[in-house]
Amino acid sequence: MYEHDGEKYFVVDGHMHYWNAAPDNWVPGAEQYAKGWIECFHAYMGLAPADTHWPLEKFQKYSEDDLMHDLFEVGHVDKAIFQPTYLLEWYKEGFNTTERNATMGEKHPGKFLYNTRWDPRDGDEGLETLKRNVARYGSTGCKLYTAEWNAGSRGWKLTDPAAYRYLEACQELGVRNIHVHKGPTIWPLDKDAFDVSDVDHAATDFPALNFIVEHVGLPRIEDFCFMAVQEPNVYAGLAVVIGGLMHARPRFFAKVMGELLFWLGEDKLIFGSDYAIWEPKWQVEGFVDWQMPDTEEYSDYPRLTTQGKKKILGLNAARLYGIEVPAEYQLQAQPTIAA
């Protein structure tokens, strides 16, 4: 738990991974894609402070000890949510699977929530796998990659009839938090397959589900904000926003945060470190210290208070996932003011 200037913060890392992209996991014949994917990920690490950069060999397959140290020993994280990404076209055992995450996480009770995933192109077999994973791991969320390659297909949309079958199954199974990657592309995936337009339609048709748009649709920030402000069940996942912009692009970071705060408000923003692309320690500490620039360029954006930062760093995700927050980390009730 993080304490700074007398304020206590309950931190939920809403977007993190435990992957294996080492060469011995590359699919024969697809080595160029497996190699290119992880090297593109590694290049994004360059947007963080220099003293947090890793060599590529470690980045390809970091250890359980690395993860536990970086998140819980020094990273200020109280609860972490695994977000799997399979990429079975390129990685023999998958890049970052529900099973791999849970096998590691079960050694550390109480630290993790295990989200699963699905791909509508997997048909009936995929639906059965979803049901098994929910029963085994207690998943109440899932991570979707609409640009993932699958048997010759290079993407799908939430509005596809096959995807609606899975969304209906999520409602029935209690998988209420739908995390959708809609942000910067990673080579060799197609940028247009991450467009945010399909979220609008699905969110309206499935009001009982929460759609957390990971990476806030970047670089389509305006498209995302004008859509999300009208959909009460659409949330902004701040992975990439904080890790990718706060240090390397501080002026653009202020603009993106300003747009999100203006249109969505602080109750709909969810922190995620995107570990292991970036470590959470510097992100949590930097975000707690961050203030909107006090210049004319940013004068029409809301200012973020300590209370708002507490919501974003953990309390909003805790609400969506039913995570118990110790009393001393909850917000104090605000006094009622008569109209």
pLDDT, tens only, 52-94: 999 999 999 999 999 999 999 999 999 999 999 999 999 999 9
CA max distance for the chain: 68
The tens digit of pLDDT for each residue in 136-189 reads 999 999 999 999 999 999 999 999 999 999 999 999 999 999 999 998 889 999
Amino acid at 161: P
Does the N-terminal peptide bond of residue 188 adopt cis geometry, omega within 30 degrees of 0? yes
Question: 191-239: per-residue pLDDT in tens?
Answer: 888 999 999 999 999 999 999 999 999 999 999 999 999 999 999 999 9
Dihedral sign of CA atoms 54, 59, 61, 67 in order: positive
Q: What is the pLDDT of residue 191?
A: 87
Over residues 260-312, the pLDDT tens digits come to 999 999 999 999 999 999 999 999 999 999 999 999 999 999 999 999 999 99
| Domain parsing of the chain, residue ranges | 8-322
**Residues 6 or more apart in contact with residue 308 via CB below 8 angstroms:** 261, 266
pLDDT of residue 336: 42
Q: Please report, for residues 35, 53, 91, 93, 329, the alpha-carbon distance to residue 280 in angstroms, rounded to integers and kept in the order given.
A: 25, 13, 26, 27, 19
What is the spatial distance between Cα 184 and Cα 335, in angstroms, rounded to a whole number? 42
pLDDT score, position 34: 98
Predicted local confidence at residue 192, as pLDDT: 87
> What's the rounded Cα separation, in Å, for the pair 217 and 97?
23
* C-beta separation of 49 from 66 below 8 A: no
Measured N-to-C along each axis, helices 250-263 and 221-228 cross at an angle, to the nearest 10 degrees, of: 20
Q: Residue 116 — φ and ψ, nearest 5°?
A: -115, -165
Handedness of CA 3, 332, 215, 176 (dihedral sign): positive
pLDDT at 334 over 60: no
Indicate the residue type of 3.
E
Q: What number is the average pLDDT over the span 118-138?
A: 97
- pLDDT given for residue 275 in this prediction: 98
Let me know if domain 8-322 sits in CATH 3.20.20.140: yes
pLDDT at 335 over 50: no
Question: Do the beta carbons of residue 175 and residue 141 sit within 8 Å?
Answer: yes
Q: What is residue 286's three-state secondary structure?
A: helix
Answer for the pair 308, 266: CB distance below 8 angstroms, yes or no.
Answer: yes
pLDDT for 333 equals 62
Quick one: pLDDT at residue 323? 97
